[in-house]
Amino acid sequence: MAKYKDIAATIRNRILEGQYSADGPLPEQKKLAQEFETSRMTIQKALEMLTYEGLIYSEQGRGTFIKSNVSALSQLDATVNQYVGTTKLFAGKATVKSDILKNELRLPNAEEQEKLQLAKTEAVYDVVRLRFLNEVPYSIEHSIMPAKILGELTDTVLKKSIYEYLGQTLNLKIGVAYRRISADQPNQMDQEYLHCKPIEPVLQVTQTVFLQNGMPFEYSTTRHRYDMGSITTITQGNH
């Protein structure tokens, strides 16, 4: 492990255990460099990590301070706002299953070509899945994914988790995701599969997910029963 990560871990623990005064500043960088027998640059990389984690902040000419919401943060189980997919989110807490309503290989339409940056000739998977939480249907997920990334997409994979398949079998990493969240009245499918009554709305999430190398990997729309799911986001201000 890199030295600056070790140092960051040590300082993080001290902060969480209250070993540093919550009011006053942290020891100055020069002192920390002496204590950890390293250079100031290395200390700065460690502090930079903790800054991105939202634990501390620095002000030029004043010092480095602990954010006062640190105690509140430890109550939330929110590490970072990272996309994990539905399956992993509920791991261990409940059983998640999927019915595959559609799994088709076809050519993309104009919108899909644009969103997934594909040529007319590059095929996509068009997959619709009904997802169950503890045997109760809670969302319908409609995904368009480029065939060139996924290769052979079997029902076995779809029944489990596409994200698991991506990371473990294809060894690809998720990068950025753009999501648009809105509320909507239930449509015909929602009423049929999610058993929504006309007055029971859905929460709709339309997202484009990119791999770490920037290739678009999924363009999807998911509709959740309003009483079975909400989205949590953490937005960091500028550092």
Interface residues with DNA (CB under 7 A) are 2-5, 25-26, 28-30, 37-42, 44-45, 47, 58-64
Is 66 near a copy of itself (CB under 8 A)? Answer: yes
Task: Tell me 81's DSSP state.
Answer: -
Q: How far is the CB of 45 from DNA (least distance, A)?
A: 6
Q: Is 188 in the site for a copy of itself (CB under 8 A)?
A: no
- What are residue 218's DSSP bridge partners? 209
- Tell me which residue has tokens 């060894």: 171
- The verdict on 215 binding a copy of itself (CB under 8 A) reads yes
Cα separation, 25 vs 100, in Å, equals: 56
Residues 97-156 that bind a copy of itself (CB under 8 A): 117
For residues 200 and 226, is the Cβ–Cβ distance under 8 A? yes
How far is residue 151's CA from residue 226's CA, in Å, rounded to a whole number? 34
Contacts of 201 (CB under 8 A, 6+ apart): 183, 184, 185, 186, 226
Per CB under 8 A, which region of 4-12, 77-85, 89-97, 144-152 contacts a copy of itself? 77-85
Q: What's the DSSP call for residue 38? A: S
Q: Whose Cβ is closer to DNA: residue 5's or residue 180's?
A: 5
Does 233 interact with a copy of itself (rule: CB under 8 A)?
yes
x/- track of binding to a copy of itself for residues 30-49 (CB under 8 A): -----------x--------
CA-based angle 159:165:169, to the nearest 5? Answer: 140
For 20, how many CA atoms within 13 A lie in the half-sphere containing its CB?
23
Stretch that binds a copy of itself, among 11-19, 79-87, 156-164, 187-195 (CB under 8 A): 79-87
Binding site for a copy of itself (CB under 8 A): 41, 54, 57, 65-72, 76, 78, 80-83, 117, 173-185, 198-203, 210, 212-216, 224, 226, 229-238
